[in-house]
Amino acid sequence: MTRDVDPMHDPALDRTVSAEEAGAAPPDAGPRLRPGGKVGRYQIVEFLAGGGMGWVYRARDAELERDVAIKVVQPTAMGAQGRERLLAEARAMARLQHRAVVPVFDVGEHAGGVYVAMALLTGGTLHDWMHAAARPWREVLARFIEAGRGLVAAHAAGLVHRDFKPKNVLIGDAGEVMVADFGIASASATGSGDGGAHETSTVAGTPAYMAPEQAEGKAVDARADQYSFCVSLWEGLHGQRPQEADTRTQGPALERAPDAPKARRAVPAWLTAALVRGFASQPERRWPTMQALLDVLERGLGRRRRIALGAAGVGCVAAVAAALVAMRPAPRDPCPTPDGLTWNPVTRATIALAFRATGSQAADDTLARVVPPLRGYVRGWQARMIDSCRATHVSHTQSAELLDRRAVCLDGRRAHAAGLIATFASADRAVVADAIGAVASMPGLEACDRGDVLIARPMPSPEQRSAVAAVQRQLAHGRDLGLRGRHREALEVFEAARAAARASGWAPLHAEALEAVARTRILMFLPSDDVVDELAVEAAKAKDDARALFALVELVTKEQLHGNLDRAAALEPVLNAAILRTDGEDTLKVRAELVMAWRATAAHDDRLATERIAAAEAHAVTPALRGEVLGQRARAQRDAAAALPLFEQAQVELRRAYGESEPHVGRSYVDIANVKFRMGDVDGAEVAWRAAGAIYQGSFGDTDSPSMSDYLQLGGMIAEVRGRIDEAVSLLTRAAKVYRDMGMPESHAQAERNLANVLSNGTDDQSQAEVHYRRALEVMERARGKSSVEYADIEATFGMFLAMEDCAAGMPYLEHARPLLEAVRHPTLASLFAQLGDCAEARDPDMAARHYQAARVICTDRGCPAGMLEQLGLAQGKLLARDPATRARALAMLEDAQAGFARLGDDEAVAEVKTELARWKR
């Protein structure tokens, strides 16, 4: 069966395939997909265009809630090796980020072929634009220069396009120019398969634009793209391709190709000369690089038209001379606004649309709080890039070496900010919820101003820089996943970046990746000690004061969590020095001071704790940081009543920082609810808890988020006290599932323990309670080990559960847990001592009374659940009342317990105390 020949068709515009491909099967695009069909995770919406290699569709990415363009390339268009080559090159494109390159989001396999998911641009092609009307040469040249920048970026990343033509350049809605189909249109069954900018052999491309060496099947490099670019630009300027260029491959299939007409439009001679050199038949006669060609074109575009002097009178000479001086072209600015990070109305509008599309009630308020600092960050970055350039090239006050070092520092900031902007542009509810914190935690620009510090830091070699860029892209992807709450996936990406950064041999990059791993592990409550230790070493090598400070904060925190308060105190002088050495980074400095305040509180050094909190307040220059400091001051209070007003003041600052409907404010309501619950004000606790729930519902909808974990658990405890056991079980089950799904084992274990407590106290299903206790122990043992305080905490609870039925069964667990908990004066000791007292009552009442007293001290000192202090007073009062010498003290305890039970609304307990009082007051 033969195909019909279109007499108006120009075969020179067809895509060429290799002999192997042509012999295997025709390059058929295959059947079109129907709307509603699936390609990977994408749902087809409508057909857009295609043919030859495959079809292009509009598709919906339901996961990220955005429309994309999907190109589906059929297996018949690729040949035997083409599929793997296409996958490799498309993945390389997905790592290439440049404003003049169509972003590739994803690549995968479909029906034996390959699909590529790209940004959806609806402004047509450069071919359509330049043939729609006769355009001024400057306008045409400006658009092609922008496309050329995309080629330069690809060549720097090791990619050769090999099918550059006006139809492969797309125009966005705002007029932006982006090159498409890198390595995709050029995939073939032959060649090296690495897609590099060095030599690659393949017969693929479009004959009308193809370099001679490519048409002959010889090895090609980036100069083949330069050839195609110059032919395309000539066509844009003159409305036809140049006859001077050898653009036609030979063969009977192309003998019908018509000659192009010879008419030309007027363009400057320098531009013609530049293009003729660019499409020279021999690669070595072309411009050495695409960038060299662009430099010539950009200089020419900046020229002003000369003013011709006619036969003017003598009286006009001075005026003409003055006019010439005024019209003289200004010297080319050696330091233009840098590429790579921009902020404009389109950027802001895109982010605003994405935020509002999430349905979050905090979207507008969050936008108002993130846009100004983000815009300021971008402008600050641009200003520093320009100032640094001018200091070297204009005022000559800065060395070329320092220029390079500042550029490396600022490039890391650019990568972080560009990744955050991209995440915001496709935000979901989780991103909106954490957006303010994400902007606040961006690495400071000030560190790139310290020449003395930068000179001391190691620099990446030229060979290392491509690896650095690749790892920075990995880190940006990981941060994107983290902001979306996909912490397990984020950790996998960060771990891969950590390995690649270590392999690069550049310490600053390794430290950056280690910090990302450490932060994510800490967030997920996973062991992070080894990562933090390694980060401390690498940050010192990198002379990175901020990351060294972060590592030291975590080291001190680790020692305190393990009960090693002396070791924590020994590290504090080093931590103090790091605070003084680090510029900016107020958030880190506040954390450093607060972690030392926490150590002082644990060591019962209230004076030092107060000093440290005051030092933290000095660094708390924003409402968000002031709210954090006030919250820590509240947690340091031994008296819940003293903590409450501090938590309320913290909430005022957090509202000022985040607005009324942001999860940080929701968290402050949980803090207030928690302290009221400890005070026995269950009504007030529930009111605050429900206020937190309203904020979380507005931020996360019906999706359970890790940010809601404390909210869910506290709700379970409130519901248990209220007697709403089914609700308590439901809330705690949800909390356990969130932690399990997010890969957060320590929190998962705690939620399982709390669920077991409710089942034990509120239901008759003691066997199910035991299942959850044992599950909690298993999860915590894997996470922390049996010698950890965290394991001992759950072990003590399980021991108490068993001891309520059989003291002998529970005692081994209690005895193992007790010394571990006593080493850090853990709050669970109150319950442990209470159980020991209960078990000792029958055989040794004096010992039981001492255990109850120890429990009351812990309860008063460290806090305990609502009603527990009253229960201890009742138990100890009963024992002391038996001895006339201690009866007066016992009666006072019983009266205090009665008043406490009355506040809690526990009528049954009040009646029990009344009976006991009546018995001993006779």
User: Which residues are paired to 170 by β-bridges?
Assistant: 125, 178
- 420 phi-psi bin (left φ>0, alpha ψ -120 to 50, beta other): alpha
Which of 61, 106, 163, 411 is the catalytic position? 163
Could you tell me how many residues make up the chain? 922
Q: Which amino acid is at 874?
A: L
CB neighbour class for 733 (10 Å; exposed up to 12, middle 13-18, buried from 19): middle
Closest CA to 865 of 840, 891, 900: 900
187/83 Cα distance (integer angstroms): 8
Residue 246: C-alpha distances to residues 11, 282, 587, 767 (Å): 15, 10, 62, 85
CA atoms within 13 A on the CB side of 235: 25
Nearest to 99 by CA among 336, 354, 463, 414: 414
Q: What whole-number distance in Å separates Cα of residue 871 and Cα of residue 898?
A: 10
Segment holding 848, helix H or strand E: helix 845-862
Q: What angle do CA 288, 289, 294 make, to 5 degrees?
A: 120
Q: Are 464 and 504 in contact (CB under 8 A)?
A: yes
Question: What gap in Å lies between CA 350 and CA 225, rounded to an integer?
Answer: 32
- Vertex 531 angle, CA 527 and 533, to 5°: 110
CA atoms of 138 and 853, how far apart (whole Å)? 89
Can you point out the beta strands (E) in 608-727? none
> In whole angstroms, what separates CA 223 from the centre of its chain?
37
- Is residue 196 left, alpha or beta, with left meaning phi > 0 and alpha meaning psi from -120 to 50? beta
Question: Whole-angstrom Cα distance, residue 670 to residue 133?
Answer: 64
Annotate 815-846 with DSSP letters as a single string: HHHHHHHHTTT-TTHHHHHHHHHHHHTTT-HH
**What are the C-alpha distances in Å from 568 to residues 551, 578, 596?**
13, 15, 8
Active site includes 181? no
Q: Mind telling me the catalytic residues?
A: 163
